[in-house]
Structures are given as C-alpha cells and as structure tokens.
Structure 1
Amino acid sequence: MKHDIETLAKLKIERHEPPTEVKAKKQASILRDLIVFLIGTVSGAAGLSYMESDFDLESAFLQPLAVVPDTGSQPTKNQEANAKDVSEELAPSAVTKAAAFVPTSAALEATGYVRAPRRIQAVPQIGGKVEAVFFDIGEHVEKGDILASLDDEYAQIAHDQAKLTLKREQAVLSETKLSLELAEAQLERNRLLSNKGLLTSRTLQESEVEVAILNTRFLAQQQATKLADANLRLKALDLKKHLVRAAFSGVIVERFASPGDYVSPTSSATQSGSNQGLATLVDTSSIDAVVDVSEKLVSQIQPGQSVLVSGNGADIPDMPGRVSKVIPMVDRGRATVKILIKLDEYDARFLADMGVRVRFFSSTNISNQGH
C-alpha cells in the first residue's frame, strides 16, 4: 500500500506548472512579440512601415524553435544556455534583414502600357495589285528591305518606251552636233578663200547662215535630250513605286495583304484585310511607357523624376527609368493626365502595348531598387 501511494505521487500533475510543449509555445510567442516590437521600432525611426514591404515575417523570423524538454520545475544549466543561444541568434539577424529589405517610399503608382514611338503601316505609294510578299508576321527586317511588289507591267512598258525615246534623242543630238562641226569647218575655209579673193561674199554668208541654223538646232536637240532623260527618270521612279520597302529596321507585327489583294496609298493602319495596306512595322529598339495619372496627383510629377517600371510577366525585371514628358492636357472623361516614361535601359522582354505598373519616387537614385 505504501508503494501504491508513492507511485500515485509520482504520477501527479502539478496544475501550476505548464507542460513542456505549452511552455515552449509560450516562449515562442514572447520571442515573436519581442521581434515584432524591435522591427516596428527600427521601421518607425526610418519613417517607413514594415507592412508596406515585401518582407515575410513568418518565413524570416518565426523559424521552428527547439523544444527544450522539461525535466523538472527548475531548468538545468544546459537548458538555460540553449534557450539563450536561440534568442541571441534569432533576434539580431531578424532586425538586420528587416532593415535591409525595406524599400524606398514611393510617392504614387500608376498603370499604363509600353509604347513604340516608331510605328508605321507599310503601304505603297501607288495603288495596285500585290504580286509578291517577301515577309511574314514576327520577322525582323532591315531598313530598305523589299517587303512586297505590285503588278508593274504597265509601268515597265512606259519605262522601256522612255528609254527608247532618250536613245533616239541622243542619236539626233549626235547627228546635229556632227553637222554643226562640219559646217563650222567649212565656214572657216570659206573665210580663208574670201580673204584671198577666191570666194564671193554671198557664198560666205550662206556658210555663216548654215552654221547659225545648225547651232540653233543643236541647242534645241540638247533640250529635247534632257527632256527625254527627265522623262526616263520619272518612269524609273514610277517603276520603283511598285516596290514597298521598309522605312526603318524593325519587326513586322501585323500583316494585312497577300498576293492578289489590291492595296492603295490611303490605307489605314487601324484596319486589316484587302485594300488596307500591307503590314505594320514597329521599331522595338526604341520603346517607352505611357501611364495615366489622376489630375489631382499630377502636380507631384516632374520631368526627370525617377521611376520604377514593372512589366506583366514573371521573368520581366523591374526597370529604372525617368519621367520624359508630362502631356499638358487632361482627359475630361477619365480626369487623368498622360505621362511619358523613358527606360534607362532597353530590355527586349518589354513588348509593345504590354501593360506596365510605374512607381514614382521622390529620390532620383533607385538603381538598387530595379534588381
């Protein structure tokens, strides 16, 4: 019976002392409150709020704590040392991480899209039927590359005719020049004979009149030859107009025509299909961003102000930039003002018309925020 009483006494649970797991959870809760207090103090001194940052408290600070087994009502020296090491190891590193990842405070944010300033529709200078297309959507072309050719049968015939006309005029000019040279030589001999009294004055006058007539005819033929040459150059230009070339280096983002379609020089870039031009060409190496800012906040934005541009895509990094222009006009329907943003660096992952989010900063140095 005595042994039974001693056994029951050992199994007795002291209600005033919490179990081991309860004590561990209580220690973790106290430590967490202490860390949050320290972080709030550091962030408050910097004029920032840790809640605005992307810093994850639970993943950075609330790591699983080592549970110290309870061997009695009083902890041993080893238990006190282990608990002290855990507290000293977690608290300083948590404060350091919080201070390192707090971002610069942004004045405001706005949404917009990526703009390609150099964007044109490739259309011919004259109307006609498409004979061949030498590009496809998504292809990169260089300045001067032939994109398409139009039916040039009539233009080619006119060009050949002008070339023949020029050759005929040149032949007549050569003949007239030779006749003039012979007449001038004959006039010179007649003058020598007239000075010696071997030639009458009437014959000398006739030679002089002939030279004058041939000289006038030669001058007229020179003008006719120049006119024929100018006409040939015009026909050559008309022939070139049947070739559509790239105005600058870029990427074909839209294709509107195929062989057999009829296109005109008055095509609109906003429409597609037959009779609506050939393609849309975009210079992807010169892009910027356009965002809409409320007219109430536009006074906070100045040209040259630092910004951070975020694109839609997991693999697109934040890119630093500057405010290029503040368009001095308000959209009455939306009560917004357009702001042009120039990226500091070119990144091919920013595509034309892609949606972006822009953060405007009061500080001009955000190079560390873009990565």
Structure 2
Amino acid sequence: MDNAELLKELRIGRHQREDHGGAGARWPWIIGALVVVLLLVGAGGWFWLGQRALPVQVAQAVSLSADRDAGAVLQATGYVTARRQATVSAQITGTLTAVLIEEGDRVVEGQVLARLDDSAYKAGLETARAQAAAARALVTQYQAQLSQHEHDRQRLDALVVQGLVSKQAAEQARTLVDSTRAQLAAQRKQAAAAEAQAQQAQVMFDYTVVRAPFSGVVTTKDAQVGEIISPLSAGGGFTRTGVGTIVDMDSLEVDVDVNEAYIGRVKPEMPAEAVLDAYPDWKIPAHVIAIVPTADRGKATIKVRVALEKKDPRVVPEMGVRVSFLEQQAKHEAATAPSGVLVPAKAIVQRNGHAVVFVVDGGQARERQVNPAAQSYGDLRLLPSGVNPGDRVVVAPDAALHDGSKVQIQPGKS
C-alpha cells in the first residue's frame, strides 16, 4: 500500500464527524495519522538514497616508470638477435644412427649431438692402423739388419789389416751397410706416411660423431634418425644439411633500424632502455654497441647494435623490442627515481585523520589508506604503495562516499 492509499484510508467521512460529535475529539486521530505517513515517507527515502549509485569521475593510476620515456632523445624498433648462432652439421656425408637433442635442450661445448653410421670409416681406420703397424715392423727389421751389417764390416776391416781377407770383401761390406742404412731411412718415411694415413682415418672416423661447437640452447632440430646428412646441399631435398641450430644466449643483443634522418642523435656507448613487446612493463638497461656504417636504401634506415646489460631467460632471439636512446642525465634520473604510481592530487582526501583514495572495483568504491610521497609531478601525486598501476581512482570524491558505496562512472571518464 503506497502513501496515497494510506491517506485515503485515514480520511474521515461526514457521518464519522457527526458520530464523534466535534472537532476536538477528532484531532488526536488526525495527528497520529500524519506522523505515521511522515515516518513511512522518510524510511522509504532513506532506503532509496542508500541503494542509489553515486556518479563519480575516475582517473587511471599510472606507473611512475611509464613516465620516464620523457628523457629519451629517440625511439626505434627492432629485434633480438644472437651474435653467436650456428646450424650444426657433420663434415662428412652419412646416415644418422642417433640424434641426441631436442628443442630447448641446453648443451655444453663438445657434447655429442648426433652419430652417423661409422662402419665404413671404422674399417678404414683399422686398415690404416694395420698398415702403419706393418711399416713400423719393417723399420725395426731394417734397424736390425743395419746393426748386423755394421758388425760384419768392422770384422772384415780388422781381417783386411791382418791380410786374411781381400780389400774387395771389406768394400762390399761397407756398401751393404750404406745400402741398408738407405733402406732404413726410406722405410722410416713410409712408416711416417702410414702413421699419417692412420691419423687421417681417425679424423674421418671422429667426423661420424657430431659435437656442439660451443655452449648454448638448441632452438631447432632439423634431422631424424635414418636420414642422410651432408655438409653440402644435395638435389631432390632428401639430404639434410644440418642436425640442429644452437644459440649462445649470452651473445644476445638488439638490432634496431633508425631512420637515417635521426641517426645523428645516436652515439656509440650511448645509454638506452629496451622494452620487449612480450613484457611491456619490463625495462632492460642497455647501451649502444656500434652504428653499422651502411644504410638500407629501400627503408632509408641504418642498423644500430644495442647491447643488453642484463641477461634473462625471458629474452629469446627474434623477439620484437622497442629501444629508447637516453641521455646520460636521463639514465641517471631513471635509475634513481622512486617507484610507485601517479594519481591526481584531487583523488587524495582525508578520512578519520588519514589520507585515503577510493578505487573503483566491481561497481563499488573501495577505500585504501595511502601515504603520499613528498614529490609532486604537476597536478599528480606519487603514491609509493596502496594503489597498483591501472587502478581507477575516484577524482574529488564526495563527502558521502564511503567504503563499499555503489558508484557509477560518468560517461567519458575513465
């Protein structure tokens, strides 16, 4: 029953006035009815006001670090690249019998990555070793013969002095010694050649094992067991030219293209900050390594190499990156500036003797106690804690606003 119907029920008819006989007897009833009506109206108004959403204006809290690009003299985009990267292949042609890597594996220098069929090379190595052993045996034989011939020559020389043998026999003995010595020298050369062939066979045999040329991370696996691998490209596409690709993560840097009209602003060793597209809130200290002395005619840009001063597993090759080139003073200020978020000064109000802000969350205002820093940035104030970047704070909150109040953001304000 609404207020109008209640007043209608309390109306006194003419016959009721006549029955009660006078105005004096009717006044207490009239006054009581009016009091009841006023109480009902007040309670309904209070209930309606308590449930009504208060219109508010909001502003987004901004990270202080996001405002530091003001010190950048130039910005450019590029990609993360590796200065040390290799597609590992075998130095001989052969069939893979084992592939011991997968994408993402970390390998160390000299680690075995794959093996080739080594049966033919093993047989060649054993043959070369046998030939080298035979050559060494002949050297030993000629050394023994030479020693015997020298002893015979000495005896014949003594007999010649005594006149027991002819001088011709002594000369023949000396000739035999010289001949054996020459044969020994030749055999030593042949033994050395056989040793060299054995070493060559050993090298070819070692080529059947593919090892990591340096420590790094495997980024691609390009071959499987049973495939033929060769250091040379073969027609038809049936021969692989690599087992996999290894990247030295410690050699990662950034290559950016700078418009040639602004390249004069960039100097070697200039400080910079790199921001990966995948992590927009993460600023990586960097500096310029070198300006590559050549221009891209089509894009009218010049490549600049930028070194990352902090290594992190999150940085991987081919990531998109934005580089801000800084002045020395700007870099120092960015390194020493305090952390926190910036909010409008009007968003900070006093409640019960404390500085607070109201953050809009799910259509309600949540009161958060804050301790503003002494620094001011125009009409913005720094809040070291209590508010996160991206939070929406109420600007100039009304005195009736309290923790848990329903709010409605005015259109066009965020």
How does the TM-score come out when normalised to structure 1?
0.70
Deviation at residue 241 of structure 1 after TM alignment: 1.4
Q: 1:326 is matched with which residue?
A: 291
Whether 1:342 and 2:307 are equivalent positions in the alignment is: yes
Any unmatched runs of 5+ in structure 1? 5-24, 30-55, 61-96
**Kept after mapping to 1: 8 A contact 2:233/2:239:** no
Is the counterpart of residue 287 in structure 1 residue 272 in structure 2? Answer: no
- Counterpart of 1:197 in structure 2 is 163
1: CA distance, partners of 2:133 / 2:262? 72
In structure 2, how many angstroms separate the alpha carbons of the residues matched to 1:203 and 1:276?
Answer: 69
Q: In structure 2, what is the Cα distance between the partners aligned to 1:100 and 1:279?
A: 40
Q: Is the 8 A contact 2:72 2:330 kept in 1?
A: no
What are the equivalent positions in structure 2 for 1:12-161 lying under 5 Å apart?
59=61, 104-161=70-127
Q: Check conservation: 2:138, 2:187, Cα contact below 8 A.
A: yes
Say if 1:306 and 1:364, in contact at 8 Å, map to a contact too. Answer: no
CA deviations over 1:157-190 (Å, ceiling 9, x no partner): 1111111111111111111110100110111111
In structure 2, the CA distance between the partners of 1:326 and 1:187, relative to structure 1 (3 Å rule), is same
After TM superposition, give the deviation of residue 322 of structure 1 in Å: 0.9
8 Å CA contact retained: 1:135, 1:147: yes
For the pair 1:185 / 2:140, whether they are aligned, the reply is no
Give unmatched runs, 5+ long, in structure 2: 1-30, 32-53, 340-414
**What secondary structure does 1:328 align onto?**
strand
Counterpart residue identity of residue 204, structure 2: D
1-structure distance, mates of 2:125, 2:210: 18
Structure 1 Cα separation of the partners of residues 141 and 333 of structure 2:
81
Distance across 2 between alignment mates of 1:204 and 1:154 = 53
Over aligned residues, Cα RMSD in angstroms? 3.3
Q: Check whether the contact 2:97–2:225 (CA below 8 A) recurs between aligned residues.
A: yes
Q: Which amino acid aligns with 1:326?
A: I
CA change 1:326–1:256 in 2 (3 A) is same
Matched, 1:355 2:309: no
Counterpart pick for 2:133 among 167, 182, 198: 167
Give the greater-gyration-radius structure (CA).
2
Contact kept in structure 2, 1:261 and 1:274, CA below 8 Å: yes
User: Is 1:263 matched up with 2:229?
Assistant: yes
State the secondary structure of the residue aligned to 1:232: helix
| Deviates further, 189-198 or 319-328 | 189-198
1:198 Cα deviation after fit: 2.4
**Partner SS for 2:240:** coil
In structure 2, what is the Cα distance between the partners aligned to 1:175 and 1:222? 11
Give the match for residue 64 of structure 1. Answer: none
SS in structure 1 of the partner of residue 146 of structure 2: helix
Check 1:103–1:296 CA distance in 2 against 1; reply closer, same or farther (3 A cut). closer
Task: Measure, in 1, the Cα distance between the counterparts of 2:114 and 2:140.
Answer: 41
Residue 286 of structure 1 and its aligned partner are, at CA, apart by 1.3
Amino acid at match of 1:277: G
Higher alpha-carbon deviation: 101-110 or 346-355 = 101-110
Distance 1:131 1:367, change over 3 A: farther
Q: How many residues align?
A: 287
Q: In structure 1, what residue type is equivalent to 2:193?
A: L
Secondary structure at 1:347's aligned position in 2?
A: coil
Paired residues of 1:320 and 1:367 also in contact (CA < 8 A): no
Corresponding residue to 1:249 among 197, 215, 218:
215
The reply on whether 1:311 has 2:276 as its aligned counterpart is yes
Q: Shift in Å at residue 284 of structure 1?
A: 0.6
Per the TM alignment, residue 59 of structure 1 is displaced from its structure 2 partner at its CA by 4.5
